[in-house]
Chains A and B, each alone.
Chain A
């Protein structure tokens, strides 16, 4: 039914960029201070189990997206509200990523520009891209991701030149003991950004070689997680644990410290580029997931008009949900990620897998 396909490598690029997306700019595990990298590693490793759940579900219903398989798992009528919940989740998450981009741009480089213009123009780009379907998204990922990784590694290399770079900032490892760290880790570290890869279940049907789904899913988390871990180590080494936990845009402030030979400095633009690219992956994948979900739910032939609708909803949505950036972050990290994410990304998929497993045993597939 789907003529357009996405290659395995393209999916990997897209989703790895998606995992890094906003997380790399915002910094993860800020409260864990020097143990942030452990926080990320634990989050990544435990999310591998989640990915196993997602891919197992996908392998039970080959060729079906999450929206298509749900009626088969929990029945037609029960599935509707659940599907709507997922669509809302994807849409709202896209709006959140857009808001984060907008706030970075507005607080750092364009302080007098209305944030709606920043988010709106970005959304135009996303719609223009998604109109081309999954193929365009995949190819964009193919072009942007290498640039993205190159910029990231370039920044890391430059960070070594910073005088304040001190790997000792990572000590003492687990200074406050394991328990408080674990308490912070679950479920936040698993949910953001790793658990968000649930959107990959909307993309699996478009994959060219279905048999590699699990391998791709796992490598996305591993690569994304390892890069995030290295990044947090670099950030803490340069900024020190205290500033790391204080800063809102850690990568940006670390990059501002770079000064090679008094000439190679001010790489802020590179960070802005990375943010635009990262959010591009993130909003692109979320919005695509939502659009495909809606069109499959209502059995529409094309997703184009859905996209336009969603695209015009997202910018206002990203702004009205929080009046200030503080409120946005607070709601995100105190309510949305711990509770809603846990429900939609951990509890429900495991539940679905259980039901699907029983159904398979009973031969009702």
Chain B
């Protein structure tokens, strides 16, 4: 027994001493904060990485020279990983993806299809599946190069921006889910640079902004939606969490606007098959609180409130109809998940009848919007 004990000790110490296969010191990694992907020369992928420079990021030791806290480095390749290996050849430190929370893809590349990007991002262990995926109309590398205003790296700003409830928050994982799920097409926010101030002479600089969404059909970009349309999509996807809705008060009632804050909003997709015809009803229930009254209306009156509620309902209905029409006619892409709703309610019919040519079915789907609005509070003054 004693020999065996000594032997196992030896084995253990050998394991311990010769180990350190994966050991990479934290100051030997290049921390990627954002990934950008562009299409160049027709079919090559250009991978741009925003890499943090820790010496510029940490607490200022000894003087504290203020410089750029990140650099952008890029290389091309036929696949993402090939480009990644090529970049590694230029970087003295080991590329480390796990801290990156932003994946930016340019329009040209998105039009060619993004499934291989998603695959790399989910298959390779390092990149996190909960990084935000966003698309740009211009070049992704340009946006990566933009200067951060608030955070230490511009990628951090992108991340924080994406987290806000204003727009869509789409993780790579969500994108993959939408890609894989039948009856649901992917979409993701569009990201762009906007001037800091508008309509002033002072062109002080640019800041990143979410600007509508990119709509996909399968893994290919089908088109873009404006911010207003995006809000319609948010409504239908039941992801409306915060926002302002403004209604126009007609001239005969004194004119002006009333703005309301959304307190609670809920959407329900109710498919129905009647006489072999599929109908989709989008049921929207929302609650509001008035925050600005620019009109002559006396809000302290039930009838007027009811009147306003009807206006809100119509406003929403119009908005949503607009989005639905665009998706059905322009993109022919079911980003709302109508197909999924059908599948959940009528799995048999879906499998036998609709699944195969859902694209056509969706384009011709009869969609009605049923909006209900309640104004619960009118604020602190009458």
| Contact between chain A and chain B defined by CB under 8 Å | yes
Residues of A within 8 A of B (CB): 107-114, 117, 120-121, 124, 127, 163-164, 168, 171-172, 174-177, 239-243, 246, 253, 256-257, 259, 262, 304, 308
CA distance A127 to B173 in the complex (A): 40
Contact A120 B344 (CB under 8 A): no
Contact A107 B344 (CB under 8 A): no
Q: Is B273 positioned at the interface, with any CB of A under 8 Å from its CB?
A: no
B144: min CB distance to chain A, Å: 22
Contact A107 to B125, CB < 8 A, known contacts A172-B344, A176-B351, A242-B181: yes
Contact A172 B343 (CB under 8 A): yes
Using CB atoms, name the residue of chain A closest to B351. A176
Using CB atoms, name the residue of chain B closest to A114. B21
Contact A111 B22 (CB under 8 A): yes
Partner of A117, one of B19, B177, B345: B19
CA distance A124 to B347 in the complex (A): 51
Using CB atoms, name the residue of chain B closest to A116. B15
Q: Is B327 positioned at the interface, with any CB of A under 8 Å from its CB?
A: no
| Interface mask (B156-195 → A, CB under 8 Å = 1, otherwise 0) | 0000000100000101011011001100000000000000
Partner of A243, one of B15, B169, B180, B344: B180
Contact A124 B12 (CB under 8 A): yes
Contact A168 B173 (CB under 8 A): no
Contact A168 B344 (CB under 8 A): yes
CA distance A172 to B350 in the complex (A): 11
Chain B 67-122 residues near chain A, CB threshold 8 A: none
List 29 A–B pairs whose Cβ atoms lie within 8 Å, in order of A's numbering.
A109-B22, A110-B21, A113-B19, A114-B21, A117-B19, A120-B11, A121-B15, A124-B8, A124-B11, A163-B169, A164-B177, A171-B344, A172-B344, A172-B347, A175-B344, A175-B347, A175-B351, A176-B351, A240-B177, A240-B180, A242-B177, A243-B176, A243-B180, A256-B128, A256-B130, A257-B129, A259-B130, A304-B1, A308-B4
Using CB atoms, name the residue of chain B closest to A259. B130
Residues of B within 8 A of A (CB): 1, 4, 8, 11-12, 15, 19, 21-22, 125, 128-130, 163, 169, 171, 173-174, 176-177, 180-181, 343-345, 347-348, 350-351
B residues near A110, Cβ cutoff 8 Å? 21-22
Contact A176 B347 (CB under 8 A): yes
A251: min CB distance to chain B, Å: 14
CA distance A107 to B350 in the complex (A): 38
Contact A257 B173 (CB under 8 A): yes
Contact A256 to B15, CB < 8 A, known contacts A172-B343, A172-B344, A243-B173: no
CA distance A113 to B128 in the complex (A): 21
Given contacts A117-B15, A175-B347, A240-B180, 18 further A-B contacts (CB under 8 A): A109-B22, A110-B21, A110-B22, A112-B22, A127-B8, A164-B177, A172-B343, A172-B345, A172-B347, A239-B177, A240-B177, A241-B181, A242-B181, A243-B177, A246-B180, A253-B129, A256-B128, A257-B171
Contact B129 A256 (CB under 8 A): yes
Using CB atoms, name the residue of chain A closest to B177. A240
A residues near B180, Cβ cutoff 8 Å? 240, 242-243, 246
Using CB atoms, name the residue of chain B closest to A164. B174
CA distance A111 to B125 in the complex (A): 9
A residues near B22, Cβ cutoff 8 Å? 109-113
Using CB atoms, name the residue of chain A closest to B4. A308
B residues near A124, Cβ cutoff 8 Å? 8, 11-12
A323: min CB distance to chain B, Å: 19
Using CB atoms, name the residue of chain B closest to A240. B177
A residues near B21, Cβ cutoff 8 Å? 110, 112-114, 117
CA distance A110 to B173 in the complex (A): 23
B residues near A109, Cβ cutoff 8 Å? 22
A residues near B163, Cβ cutoff 8 Å? 262
CA distance A240 to B186 in the complex (A): 14
A316: min CB distance to chain B, Å: 14
B residues near A240, Cβ cutoff 8 Å? 177, 180-181
CA distance A165 to B253 in the complex (A): 46
CA distance A226 to B130 in the complex (A): 29
CA distance A56 to B146 in the complex (A): 73
A residues near B181, Cβ cutoff 8 Å? 240-242
Please provide the 9 A-B residue pairs with the shortest distance between their CB atoms, ordered closest to farther: A175-B347, A242-B180, A172-B347, A113-B21, A171-B344, A112-B21, A240-B177, A112-B22, A110-B22
CA distance A121 to B345 in the complex (A): 51
A residues near B125, Cβ cutoff 8 Å? 107-108, 111
B residues near A256, Cβ cutoff 8 Å? 128-130
Using CB atoms, name the residue of chain B closest to A242. B180
Partner of A120, one of B4, B15, B350: B15
Using CB atoms, name the residue of chain A closest to B130. A257
B263: min CB distance to chain A, Å: 19
A114, A120, A175, A176 — most chain B CB neighbours (10 Å): A175
B residues near A177, Cβ cutoff 8 Å? 348
A96: min CB distance to chain B, Å: 22
CA distance A33 to B8 in the complex (A): 45
CA distance A163 to B239 in the complex (A): 10
CA distance A256 to B129 in the complex (A): 7
Contact A175 to B343, CB < 8 A, known contacts A111-B22, A113-B22, A243-B177: yes
B residues near A174, Cβ cutoff 8 Å? 347
B residues near A114, Cβ cutoff 8 Å? 21
A residues near B351, Cβ cutoff 8 Å? 175-176
A80: min CB distance to chain B, Å: 29
CA distance A124 to B16 in the complex (A): 13
CA distance A237 to B171 in the complex (A): 16
